[in-house]
Amino acid sequence: MSATTAARPTLAVFVSSHGFGHASRAYAVLEHLRHLESKVQIELFTRIPEWFFASLGQHLHFHELDCDMGLVQTDAFEVDFRATLSGLSDRLPFRPELIQDLARRVIALRCHAVLCDIAPLGLAVAEAARLPSVLVENFTWDWIYNGLAQQAPAFKDYAKLLQPHFMGADIHIQTEPVCDPVSGTYQVGPIARAFRASVSETREALSIDKSAPLVFISMGGTRTGFPFLEQLKTRFPGVRFVVSGASELIETDQNLALLPVRCFLHHPDLVRAADLVIGKAGYSTIAEVHAAGTPFGCFVRADYPEMGPLVEFIDREIPGKMLAPEQFANGQWLDALPELLEIGSIPRPSVTAAAECAALVRTRF
């Protein structure tokens, strides 16, 4: 290994693969980190598909690793408690041989620090490797599991196992909307990936006129069906709809554009180009509509611990309306569409939270 390579700052990154929200936030931080430190080497451990991070460039090495299960979901709204508890029993407490093996790997990769977007395995690895750790979160799994213990008491045992890992991070960054504010942490605004294309460029790529009302429907990284598509064509023929994750290939059907999850069109650009976003109240979508100032019709799972803080933030910061998840599949939410389309977007100043977070990460090199 050359002296130049050995001196290159190297960061091990462990990202939860529970949906795309954590990956989106980590991507935004790493993108800004690359601007601050162009020679940084990123060793990424996750089960998020490699293509999601590909544009970070040649200095990213991908290591497929099941580093965080989080929750098992049957769809975008429902948690499978039994499957989640079964998975946790297989993973926790962490096997010492797994931690030691991963610690040896990050040391062999000459990592200087470990960044985790709520993946507690990475924090355990950092401790074993005696490397500084950075935790980025708007919630931690111990907090989520304690909240779910009212429905399934066994979650509390796993919360106790994970809490020391989260409390042991050397730098703890909380991003709005913060679910459980912790004293002594760095708190920053919502973190979303940067825009790449203008509104006009994005609409042109979709062959949508700049004056046409455009609704972007996105349910995040969880596989979801869209049984109401025919209603979009029959009830609102004058509205253009772009639906993410509704097809394996890009398809058009009357006023619909159906997109795969992996698409050449950048998700934040689609959010900004729309007059209205419809989706699940999840972190990445909230951060993106906040950055874009686009109105948000959001489906809220009332029985999920994260929802209270997310809804409070949406009510305060984002124009839109709460929608009931039971109205999603049958299309009853479409009754509110005319009202939602009357809500105007709001201008936003440039978002700096990701850059601030990246600067904090850089201090660990």
Q: What is the mean pLDDT of residues 238-243?
A: 97
Report whether pLDDT(154) > 60: yes
Exposure of 64 in the CB half-sphere (CA atoms within 13 A) = 3
What is the pLDDT averaged over residues 102-106? 98
Beta sheet of 186-188, edge-to-edge order: 60-64, 41-46, 10-15, 113-117, 133-137, 171-175, 186-188
Q: Cβ distance 131 to 111 under 8 Å?
A: yes
pLDDT at 2: 39
Per-residue pLDDT averaged across 183-197, rounded? 95
Domains assigned to the chain: 3-192+353-362 (3.40.50.2000), 199-341 (3.40.50.2000)
pLDDT band at 342 (very low <50, low <70, confident <90, very high): very high
pTM of the model: 0.94
CA 276, 265, 245 angle in degrees (round to 5)?
70
Structure token digits, residue 144: 């989520």
| Tokens (6 digits) for 1 | 């290994």
Q: Please report the pLDDT score of residue 223 as a whole number.
A: 67
pLDDT above 80: residue 335:
yes
**Predicted local confidence at residue 5, as pLDDT:** 47
Least confident of 26-40, 47-61, 68-82, 318-332: 68-82
CB 175 within 8 A of CB 274: no
